[in-house]
Amino acid sequence: MNYLSVENISKSYGERVLFEDISFGINKDQKIAFIAINGSGKTTLLNIIAGVDVPDTGQIIFRKGLKVAYLSQKEMLDDSLTIEQTIFNSDNEILHIIEQYETALKNPDDSDAYQKAFELMEHHNAWDFETQYKQILFKLKLNDLNKKVSTLSGGQKKRLSLAIILINKPDLLILDEPTNHLDLEMIEWLENYLQKEKITLFMVTHDRYFLERVCNEIVELDNGKLYRYKGNYSYFLQKKEERIAIEQTTVEKAKNLFKKELDWMRRQPKARTTKSKSRIDDFYTIKEKAHQRRLDHKIQLEINMERLGSKIVELHHISKSFDEKSLFDKFDYVFKRGERIGIIGKNGTGKSTFLNVLTGNIPVDSGKVVIGETVKFGYYTQSGIQINKGQKVIEVIKEFGEYIPLTKGRKISAGQLLERFLFSRKKQYDFVEKLSGGELKRLFLCTVLIQNPNFILLDEPTNDLDILTLNVLEDFLLDFPGNLLVISHDRYFMDKIVDHLFIFEGDGKISGFPGNYSDYRIYEDSNPSSIKKIVKKEDSRKTEPLKGQLSYTEKREFSKLEKEIAILEKKKVIIESGFHNDEIEADKINETSVKLQEIITDLEQKEERWLELSMKME
């Protein structure tokens, strides 16, 4: 069933053409990701489909009565309302029935109002819906329903907007970078939710694990042309590589033909026949193909950074608190040369503060930070770059450095670095104020790297960057011989570039783990103490459910969960024993591993829900 059709739309801003004459459709139950380089109009396209913007040419045709919800980069919330009022401020009939029921619960003396509200809940089977929407709020850490929107952080507002969209269950869900402002736990929950729900989805995201596990189709805008891939991210990578190989073969053939035709053109007399005119027209078509140039680069650098001495960075019993909240307490660590460490943890546990302490931007409360004399930090912060209007892109980067030295006397100039990070020669002479948000992030990265640091600190570098830029950055960092300390919620990025983790657990505790993020998740999933962590998370909720008030539906759910958990635990034990005893055939290992992970994920969710319900019964 076709939900909407995008027909020959184009969009420009002055001389800048974002896209021209593109067409595609979205059908029921498709989960489509839209991939393109920053600045090519991803958000603009989403705005057009959502009706926030209009195309210069072409049209969007919607199925009659289609309900569309859009999670944009800009939140459109009423600051005067509470979280609860914002959720109920919609046209969803079931939500209004639940609101009426919850109001009746607060006024137990009015038995008639309670009876009426209860009957409406029964008639519309609103109990399941109530359970689902409260679980969504709980997962997105929106527990204090009385909190005013005006007091929420930017991340909390983004999560509230996401919660409202998921609760209202539209026909078509449009998401612009949904994983920004979510911690790893929330991302994995959202990924699992969208994967399992029968939902139609069109989204922009740079999270490649998200693309791999959620999407069943990818639409790519590359050099002004639209390509469709009916598969997930792995399939997209495979088919794109095949397409590029074919294109390069075609270009090489065109170049050879171009040389022959050029010789022919030079030999032609001024007076030309009709037949030769046709061949001349073909010549210009061949010339265009022969001069096609791809912008994605493979980086293989031997960076000649400033030498690191034996002393890098030493942390001796450092502590830091804000408003009586302990972020880290008497933490010790001595960095070794070439270490590549990732930092993970929930929002608000002190990850960014930790980087600011290392670089001297924030003082410690106690303890000592010792920086080696040879250390030269390169610090990419979330605040971004301060731009001066009237400056050109190339002028901005040259303020920080002219080149990066390589081995054997070679070097990368500022312009070459920009080109590697997908700023064409023409783009380098654009004014900075013309850049998109993602392009500004790219430029900021280049200003950090051009300074040739030997210790790079990156605070959420993947936010707002497109996948092509992430691939370039990953290749650069893999070639980087110095120390690396990274905060990121991008699991794919962390898996690729770090080999050690600092886990910020809250309450001042930081633990270490010798591996990347996927290694850590496998370890956590196999660790029996994980059930205690679930209990701890439940205990820390700000707004707990009322004790002893399970609805009839919840009681049925609780009983069902106990049986399902027992079955899943048996399945998990059987598969794990198969691995331990080498009983699984070699060609079935990957398939069985995926199945085991699905069982573990399902088991965790059911255990968490079981605990949530059991706490209400205490």
Report angle CA 268, 270, 274 to the nearest 5 degrees. Answer: 80
pLDDT digits (tens, 9 = 90+) for 538-565: 333 333 333 446 676 777 777 778 778 8
- Spelled out in words, what is the top-level CATH class assigned to the domain 1-67+173-250? alpha beta
Biggest CA–CA distance in the chain, Å, is 103
Fold of 313-521: Rossmann fold (3.40.50)
The position carrying tokens 């930090």 is 377
**With contact defined as beta carbons under 8 Å apart, do 417 and 450 qualify?**
yes
Rg over CA atoms, the chain: 28
**Structure tokens given for 353:** 């503060």
Q: What is the mean pLDDT of residues 383-395?
A: 85
pLDDT per residue as tens digits for the range 305-318: 788 888 999 999 99
Work out the percent of the chain whose per-residue pLDDT is above 90: 26
Report the mean per-residue pLDDT for the chain. 81
Each domain of the chain, given as residue ranges in start order, spans 1-67+173-250, 80-169, 313-521, 529-617
- Per residue in 437-481, pLDDT (tens digit) is 888 888 999 999 999 999 999 999 888 788 888 888 888 888 888
Interval 98-106 mean pLDDT: 80
Q: Between helices 126-139 and 184-196, what is the axis angle to 10°? A: 150
Distance of CA 150 to the CA centre of its chain: 25
Write the pLDDT tens digit of every residue in 416-436: 999 988 888 989 998 988 888
What is the reported pLDDT for 169? 85
Whether 1-67+173-250 shares its CATH topology with 313-521 is answered yes
Alpha helices in 435-588 (DSSP H): 437-449, 467-479, 491-497, 517-525, 530-539, 552-580
Each residue's pLDDT tens digit, 223-274? 778 899 998 888 888 888 888 888 777 766 766 666 666 665 556 555 445 5
